[in-house]
Structure 1
């Protein structure tokens, strides 16, 4: 029974949550997690900053909300200005209409009073009509009827002014318009205050943004200069390989391994933004590339105590005595001397080679490999990932060797080249 309920509850829960899980998959696809890696000094501390899909989606929603709120506030502010002007115009028209109708009312009242007095005079004359002849009485009656007609017309006009919508008392309209005007003006003032606060907040954000950009720009510039100085000695060597520092930086930003991290994503900015933002983005990309390049390239010596007994180039073969090209550098050492990886990489070969004896070869990426020959013992296996300083083998005299030493080669795309500047770099 319990298993039946649990099974059906699980199915119901999966049905209810399936739309939300589908929505979350869409969000993750649109806003994939990002990882930013920053190195403060060459071969120093490495800081990795991660942004989850939820955090990126939340920031996006916040920005959209801010844009919508700012747009709505701007619209309401722009809308209220003509509305306020319209209310002001209506108020002025109402004042003018009120003044005109009050003037008409005063005129009608004056005329009404005049007609009332005239009617009273006529009535008095009619009451004293004993001294009047028939013609005079008839004239008085006609005058009385005419006055009553005019008086009735004025009474009708006054009644219409106080009852019809067209002649509704203007103080009522004036009161309504004044209330609407004050309400609109109060809303406009409140909106102005909110807009001012928003402008202040946005200005504070902009000021902080400028400070951050300036600080990061200076930090990036300083680190770029330091890294360029560190890599300056090898520029001549990489030039002989048909490479340049700029091309290696671009390749380093695209390269990925467990120790270097994921590929660097270039920062794309709107062309309408301040040029300093694009310069900062370019500096960060260059800084990141130089840092990765400084980490990837096999720079430094593979032994703690450096004593070179034979350099790269043509020399007399120790077995035949004839001139022969020497493909690497020989380091003096004893049997059992620890031999270390100079850069992160993956072991691609660990075993015996003709002439080289017991060897280890490490692929560091970007086409560069290092070869350790004449070992007495191998400390790693093919496929292992190694860090700088990892002991890959012990010194010996295996293969075609006259005594204990390390034969060390650096190769680019399988071809050895003079590693002297690389060894002396660190």
Structure 2
């Protein structure tokens, strides 16, 4: 059988040499041909003969089959080798993997610890920034409440000032002299000065010193609080890492701080505007008093002496109000409060000054002026201590300022007369009344009816004789009416 195998090998070699021509492989690529030839050299065709019971059989192993079997054997041996190595070196492999796992776990835990530290730093920064932001917002709210309190008081003044608009217009002058007017009447020229806002006709209701924040709050968002917020926020921000400092939450707080800056700027601007407006109104009220012929300083001093107030003397430069550290705002706020208090005092003084006319309606006119005139009875030069307002019999005569009745009834040449003490040294008289409608000691409001127009006493016709006294000195009522007209400008 060995010889047969050799013969078969030579025959297989010859067959291999002739195979390309039979299969048409002569046209294959040279590389493929060389591989094919190498394969036949390594694995030549082999046959195994089997003889049994006089019969001979053989098995043929082609080069491709041998190569396949050799490959499978190599794979099997490789797998056996790999499995053997794993079994032999299992502990070493497991130990190496465990070491690597522990290293990875340590690295992971370190990273988690770093992240936790960063989170703690960020959380601390956010909490601190949030506290400071809330504190800043609270201070801004306090500032707004202070401003709102001023504006509330100022608004009450503005609303009540309109009360004189309909009550201070003087009646028309007579086109021709009446039976009670003899001599030339020359009105007092209007004094120059700024226009004045109307004045309160009666004491206003007490106004709260504080008010709810409004949009003038929402008077919802100043440079001072912005500097305060930044001074508190930036050091904490610089203390954390760059990554934390760029966190979106911190940027959000920056944006909110910017909103506070805008609101703060609006509050400062509003306070300065209110301060200017209050000072201007105070000057205008002083002009009204000067036109009426009274001293604003003197009258204000009398009013303040009769008002309960006091406290230690503190310069404005040393005062801080509210919860803000902004010295400029504190100074502006204190100045505004002082100006507003003075304006309220001036308005309280003006309430005592008779700026309105005693009678109103159709047919009313000034029939005799103040000062030198020809007496209607003696036809001689005489002094007339008031203004005569003529009108229909029984016309209502109104109090030109609030006060207390000190005389109500007949009084010589005045006839039926009402005299009212308006306070601060001011008194008004209403003479020649047909009827007296008030009693002595009665408290009178401005505009209240005190009597009816008539012609009692030394009179030539129906009219009311109106006098104004200040510090026991008779004054020209026309000046007070002129001041009332000045209010309407």
Name the TM-score, length of structure 1 as normaliser: 0.49
Name the TM-score, length of structure 2 as normaliser: 0.44
Q: 1 or 2 for the larger relative contact order (CA 8 Å, sep ≥6)?
A: 2
Structure number with the higher helix fraction is 1
